[in-house]
Amino acid sequence: MTTDSPQWFKSSYSDNGGQCVETAANLVASHGVVPVRDSKVLAGPVVTVGAPAFASFLEGVKNGMFV
């Protein structure tokens, strides 16, 4: 696997209930993006989010903005 290949990670908060996403944070340093995909459809589409936007999203989640 090269550094350009996403190394997918599923959150430890996922309960295997079928509604999970995976991210590949290993591309932040080299490409400035965070790929995101549906964990149920591994060969499906990937949404590529800019690292600053993804960081803002995570901050919003931590602050309860999406409850």
* Mean pLDDT for the stretch of residues 1-23: 79
- Name which residue leads in pLDDT, 2 or 25: 25
Q: How far apart are CA 9 and CA 27, in angstroms?
A: 12
Please give the share of the chain, as a percent, with pLDDT higher than 90.
67
pLDDT in tens, 15-31: 767 778 899 999 999 99
3-state helix, strand, coil in the chain (%, to 5): 30, 25, 50
* Distances in whole angstroms, Cα of residue 23 to Cα of each of 6, 66: 8, 19
The span from the CA of 42 to the CA of 48, in Å, is 15
pLDDT at residue number 43: 94
Could you say which DSSP state residue 25 is in?
Answer: G
Q: What angle do CA 36, 46, 53 make, to 5 degrees?
A: 45
**Average per-residue pLDDT for the chain:** 89
